[in-house]
Structure 1
Amino acid sequence: MTDTTHTGKTIDKAGEPSTSPLTPYRSDLLERFRAEAADQDLWVFGYASLLWRPEFDAQEQHASRVWGWHRALKMWSRLNRGSPECPGLVFALLPGGSCQGVVYRVAPNETDEVLRRLWAREMPMDVYTPSWLTCQTAQGPVKALAFTLPRSSPSFTGHLPAETYRQIFQQASGRFGSTIDYARQTYESLKAHGIHDRALAALLRHAD
């Protein structure tokens, strides 16, 4: 789930993202994806919290791999998993390498509603770049919606030293809980799907 209070965009007095209507950009982008997915199955690629909290009913799901992108705990979080005083981290899908996850199929009659819910969850501040990615499965390739992050984004952390991860794992917590709990829950969910993320396992050793 995205968290973008650090971008300087509108935040209400309680420190929560504004619940005002979608900006023209977000609205136009949602409408484009709604049009492209209209009257057909919607496939959604999950690589982090969508693995353990998809918030929609899938008709089927399959283990999948996306080439050209990789999962990384390199998006700043100053609301959901951290605070302005002690920023936390959430996962992003960054260019390069490959990523194993789960691809979900949503029935055509539910596509529109699921897209709206995903936009409310992942795109409240336009940080992610929603993309159609080719997901390889044992049943063949499918085109799925995935929320990616460009390295040019101010939300991208760049390289973080081990000591920074150690400090974040020890201290960072936000309205949805701590960064370390989020990372561990993602790791355990990946394992439950038969996926071993060695990079994430290595990062979690900084919490020991």
Structure 2
Amino acid sequence: MTYFVKMTPPPLQASAAPAAPANEERIVRVFDPMGIQYSSTSWQRAEELVLAKRAYWAPGSGEEEIVTLHLTYVPFMVVTQIDSDQNQVRETKSARSRRHNISTLRKRDGDLCFYCLKEMAREEMTREHLLASHAGGSDRNENLVLAHARCNEAVGHLSIAEKVRARERNFARILLTAGPDITQRLLQQLKIMPVDS
């Protein structure tokens, strides 16, 4: 049985809330339950979070120039689940699905970036939709390729035909400038030329 992680703040005491500054120039540092610091926020936003019970003031005098606010949630996402039987943290279903999807794409395409045709480490790989999701593209493997994040960002706004032309230009450039060893290895990795046994 799995349960979502829920962080509960320590009880808020009235004396723990610092007095609002007269000039509102005091800096409010923000931390999530995991201790990760986020960019500072305004005094007004900090008070809104406390009133909504989404944050609490850190214990302290509140007289210094910097005041600390702790969130009661992790912004933007839930990253883990806890298995109560084994008492260990494990990945979410979507993360497991994404990892399996990348593994399948690696078996199909190898470890080359679809656009620049350079080898990538597993940590550098991102899934690129040939037909963008917002344009009706699916998450099926037929519509996905692996690419560097920077390559993905550079061509993300292009049509499918323009994306393929960008890849072909890079491929032609490599074939014209690279030595025979690199060319042969690239052709083998792209499954254009059989591997010598």
Larger RCO of the pair (alpha carbons < 8 Å, separation 6+): 1
| Normalised TM-score (structure 2) | 0.25
Q: Which has the higher strand share?
A: 1
Q: Say which one has the larger Rg.
A: 2
